[in-house]
Amino acid sequence: MKSGYGLTLESEAKMLRVARELGRRYPVRITTTLLAAHVVPPEYAGRADAYVEVIGREWLPRLAAEGLVDACDVFCEGIGFDTAQSQRLFDAAQGLRLPVKMHAEQLSNIGGSLLAARYRALSCDHLEYAEAAEAQALARSGTVAVLLPTAYYGLGQGRKPPVAEFRTAGTRMALSTDCNPGSSPTASLLLALNMGARLFGLTPEEGLAGVTREAAHALGLGRSVGTLEAGRDADFVVWDIEAPEELSYWVGLNRCRAVVQGGRLVREARPLAGR
């Protein structure tokens, strides 16, 4: 869960505290990301450098000290923050031993994902304007390309991320909803799976890996979750389907029958009629 729609210390902290509380109250694993560098607040209009400075010098250390931040993100884009500003924020985060993430190449290419790769960011989101050079850099650094087809759909974008180049380079590809009130008002990961296949041409196997193994790596959790194997946390879902391909086939139908977290059954549904 990311902050980013408050743009004040108080509201960003509130979102992160809510995220932590959800993890305490409900059987769900939550990691938090500070995305205060989402847009430039009105009071900092024309002074983006000053806003980045206050995030890195004041907000990030305070929120990290409170245990509210697991990673730091920045929207590196022509309407957001440039690479120099992003680098300053990355330096501040890494000075606190926090991993970094980036929103990059959604609307243009100003070098964001190449910068993220140099810092070995956990992930880069969007990437519609990435090309072969970015795919290769992300692959070398191990940075996960997080594809967001529901945001692509919600904004009516015309350019798709370079999936073929990612395949060729061996770039890790995760898949997510980008659930937010601005561009992707959906919380359905199944819908993201369907759109990843239909709009971006992901195979069913790529989609499934994108919401499990590669998603875990995008969160820095690849050593403990994301695959079913000995020595890893027993987090998995039981589906009422006949083949994995059905996960990216159905639209608006959730065949989840049970959820297991840490080896404990935390949700069970009645079987569908006739199944």
Average pLDDT over residues 121-126: 98
pLDDT > 70? residue 275: no
pLDDT > 70? residue 273: no
Strand partners, 174: 146
CA gap 174, 191 in Å, rounded: 14
pLDDT in the model for residue 34: 98
CA gap 78, 83 in Å, rounded: 10
Calculate Rg over the CA atoms of the chain: 19
User: Over the stretch 192-220, which tens digit does the pLDDT of each residue have?
Assistant: 999 999 999 999 999 999 999 999 999 99
Residue type, 115: L
Q: Over pLDDT 90: what percentage of the chain? A: 96
What beta strand segments (E) does 200-240 contain? 236-239
Q: Over pLDDT 70: what percentage of the chain? A: 98
Residue in the block written with tokens 């992003």: 86
User: Over the stretch 132-157, which tens digit does the pLDDT of each residue have?
Assistant: 999 999 999 999 999 999 999 999 99
User: Over the stretch 55-109, which tens digit does the pLDDT of each residue have?
Assistant: 999 999 999 999 999 999 999 999 999 999 999 999 999 999 999 999 999 999 9
User: Over the stretch 168-191, which tens digit does the pLDDT of each residue have?
Assistant: 999 999 999 999 998 999 999 999
Count Cα neighbours of 213 within 13 Å in the Cβ-side half-sphere.
10
pLDDT in the model for residue 272: 55
DSSP state of 44: G
Q: Which candidate, 199, 114, 102, places its Cα nearest to that of 159?
A: 199
pLDDT > 90? residue 248: yes
pLDDT in the model for residue 180: 94
CATH topology for 9-218?
A: TIM Barrel (3.20.20)
Q: Which candidate, 146, 84, 136, 154, places its Cα nearest to that of 112?
A: 84
pTM above 0.85, yes or no: yes
- Is residue 8 helix, strand or coil? coil
Q: What is the per-residue burial (b if ≥16 Cβ within 10 Å, else e) of 178-188? A: bbbeebbebee
Computed over every residue of the chain, the mean pLDDT equals: 96
pLDDT in the model for residue 68: 98
**Sign of the alpha-carbon dihedral angle for 28, 30, 36, 37:** negative
CA gap 34, 32 in Å, rounded: 7
159 φψ region: left (φ > 0), alpha (ψ -120 to 50), beta (else): beta
In the chain, domain spans = 9-218
Check if the beta carbon of residue 54 is closer than 8 Å to that of residue 20: no
Q: Which candidate, 240, 236, 244, places its Cα nearest to that of 264?
A: 236
CA gap 74, 150 in Å, rounded: 20
Residue type, 198: R
CA gap 59, 35 in Å, rounded: 11
CA gap 121, 149 in Å, rounded: 21
DSSP state of 240: -
pLDDT in the model for residue 270: 74
CB within 8 A of 242, min separation 6: which ones? Answer: none
- Is residue 256 helix, strand or coil? strand
User: Over the stretch 25-34, which tens digit does the pLDDT of each residue have?
Assistant: 999 999 999 9
